[in-house]
Structures are given as C-alpha cells and as structure tokens.
Amino acid sequence: MEETREHYLAWLRDAHAMEEQALTMMRGMRSRLENYPDLSARIDRHIAETEGQAEDLRRLLEGQDTGSSVMKDAMARMTATGQALSGMFVGDEVVKGSMASYTFEHMEIAAYKVLIAAAKQLGETGAVAVFERILVQEQDMADWLFDHLDQTTQIFLARDEANLQAKR
C-alpha cells in the first residue's frame, strides 16, 4: 500500500499544479475577451469553480503531504503564462483558446478519474467525494465548450467578414 499512497500523492500534487495552470490560462484568456459574452460568462464561472478546486486539493495535500509541490506549481504557472501570452499573437485566439480549453478540460477529467480510482483503493472516501464533485464541474465545462464551439466559430467568422475585431 506504500507504493499506492506515493502514486496517489504524486497524482494529487500534479492535479493541484494542473488547477493552478488552469487558473493562469483562463484568467489570461478571460482578460482579453471582448466580443464573446457567453464564453466570458462561462469562463468566469469556471474560474470561480477552479479556485475552489485548487483550495480543496491544497487542503487534501496538507492533510497528507510530506514533500513540497511548490516547484512543480511554479513550473506549471510559467508554462501556462507562456501559453496565455502566445495566444495574444494569433489572429484567431478565441477559436484556438476554445479548442485548447476543451482539450484541457479532458486532461482534467482523466486526472480525476485516476485520482478517484487511487483514492478508492486507499479507502480515502472523503477525497473520493471531493474528486467526484470536481469531476462533474470539469465534465460540465467540457460539455459547454463542445456545445458552443460552433457558436464561437460563427461569431468569429461573421465579425471577421464584417471587418470587426474578431479574434477576442
């Protein structure tokens, strides 16, 4: 069981770093969006949810952890900042950002599926409940992005054809 716990803790730290990265990416994208009110509102909601997720994971880590996640989180933040900045220089950043967000939500969904299985193995029922609650939020966000990718693309194309600012 010692190996199982080590894997579990490593995956928990990874998930916390992932949520910090999610916050950096979403805040960067949200701060630039001007012409996509539905997308902006949904990102605002998911930022608030993600802040709660990061806090819940931090609390789980504090209850368990022996090592430090500070370095890994710092690395993830730098990567996310780079990705957020690089989005500023593409002419279709709202489309690229929607695609990247949809992909990121699925990375999160996979991460929580793994954490749920490991936490169940360890009998960590409180943690399982936390991960299952987060998993629903990630799935809802992924579903919303999927359902609105066509709308976002249509708005982008219509604005660009009309020579209006479209990319954000």
Closest approach of Mg ion to the CB of residue 53, in Å? 5
Residue 35 C-beta-side C-alpha neighbours within 13 Å: 19
Q: Interacting stretch for Fe ion, rule CB under 5 A, among 4-12, 25-33, 73-81, 101-109?
A: 101-109
Tokens of 159: 């604005």
Q: Confirm or reject binding of residue 105 to Mg ion (CB under 5 A).
A: no
- Helices 70-86 and 2-32 sit at what angle, rounded to 10 degrees? 30
CB of 2 to Fe ion, least distance (A): 31
Distance (Å, whole) CA 155 – CA 98: 13
Joined together, the tokens standing for residue 46 give 């998911």
**Token pair listed for 10:** 């490593």
The single residue among 73, 93, 108, 124 that binds Fe ion, judged by CB under 5 A, is 108
- In the complex with Mg ion, the residue whose CB is nearer, 24 or 53, is 53
Neighbours of 94 (CB within 10 A): 24
What angle in degrees, to the nearest 10, is found between the helix axes of 93-121 and 125-161? 170
Q: Supply the minimum distance, in Å, between the C-beta of residue 24 and Mg ion.
A: 12
CA nearest to 53, candidates 124, 119, 136: 136
Decide whether 28 or 156 has the Cβ nearer to Mg ion.
Answer: 28
Choose among Fe ion, Mg ion, none what residue 69 binds, the Cβ cut-off being 5 to 8 Å by kind: none
- Within positions 112 to 141, which residues make up the interface with Fe ion, using CB under 5 A? 138
| 108 makes contact with Mg ion (CB under 5 A) | yes
At closest approach, how far in Å is the CB of 29 from Mg ion? 14
> What's the rounded Cα separation, in Å, for the pair 126 and 135?
14
Q: Is 19 in the site for Fe ion (CB under 5 A)?
A: no
* Interacting residues toward Fe ion by CB under 5 A: 108, 138
Q: Which residues bind Mg ion (CB under 5 A)?
A: 19, 50, 53, 108
